[in-house]
Structure 1
Amino acid sequence: MSEMLSRVIDVFRDFAEDDLRDVWVFDHEDYDNLFVRDDIAVALDSVDVSRFVDNERFGYVTRDTYEALYYADYAYTVRGFDTFEQFRTFVGDKPIGLFAGFDRGASGRDFAALNDRLQAVADEFDVSELLDDSETDN
């Protein structure tokens, strides 16, 4: 695993500790799972993961739309589900998407701080490493 991949996963683990469910990376063509907790791996067996990731790819359109409509830059998206929260952001000039799931906690999480840490790591590396160094591309 590259230093960048390791650092990205560490940022997510530091943020959520045992509540981290899974971490994914994607671009327009490929995706890879960087981390998955054992109980979530079992749950994902019943999900069409490619459709799940394709849904996250709509974020490219959403990101461009927000950039065109608003006076502020798009940073990240958080969606709440009954048992977990999902965070998505993009890093790099030719953006690579990252998303992760977290068990719902009793108190709020500072997703802006998470995004800032991920962007800082991305600024230190060539973000194309995120998919180039993945073990499997889909």
Structure 2
Amino acid sequence: MSEATPLLEAVRDLAGEALRDLWTFDRSGQECLYVRDDVADHLEDHDPEAFIDNERYGYITRLTYEELTYTGYEYTVRGFTQFETFRTFLDDGSDSPVGVLVSVDRGSGVQFADLFSELLDVPGYGEPDWDVPEVPDAGPLGYTAN
């Protein structure tokens, strides 16, 4: 995966104190770039890896969105009672787009379209090229953790 500092700086600039955690992931692993202390306490009782595994389905669902809509996919936002998550995929120069997962405090006013634009401006990153080959030996949903 990729260098943490530029991504973290870009997210912090936009989210400020509302930033809860920041992760990058690919098809087989993940990296925590930042987790706020109070959030880290909650994560002791929950498995972030399982949550991120679910976000990996974005490698597959983006195909569905492209087939169902007349425009390109950019990001997904999910709302929870205490926080909101933002997930997108970026080109970091590797063989496959890297996933970026950001959580912010609910009601913080973070503009997710602005966050997406900010991430695209991070040096070394850009819009992903989804023309990369699909993962071989995919499971029933077309996804494999290999």
Please give the range of the TM-score, normalised by the shorter of the 2 chains.
0.7 to 0.9
Write the letter of the residue equivalent to 1:13. Answer: R
CA distance in 1, matches of 2:85, 2:26: 18
Residue 99 of structure 2: aligned partner: 97
For the pair shown, the structure with the greater C-alpha radius of gyration is: 2
How far off its partner does 1:126 sit? 6.2
* SS at structure 1 position matched to 2:114: helix
RMSD of the TM alignment (CA)? 1.8
Does 1:76 pair with 2:75? yes
Q: Percent identity?
A: 46
TM-score calculated relative to the size of structure 2: 0.77
- Whether contact under 8 Å (2:88, 2:101) holds in the other structure is yes
Residue 121 of structure 2: aligned partner: 120
Structure 1 stretches of 5 or more lacking a match? Answer: 128-138
Q: 1:126 to 1:117 in 2, by over 3 A?
A: closer
More relative contact order, 1 or 2 (CA 8 Å, 6+ apart): 1
Give structure 1 regions of 4+ aligned residues with deviation exceeding 2 angstroms. Answer: none
CA distance in 2, matches of 1:103, 1:54: 22
Equivalent residue pairs, number: 122
Structure 2 stretches of 5 or more lacking a match? Answer: 127-146
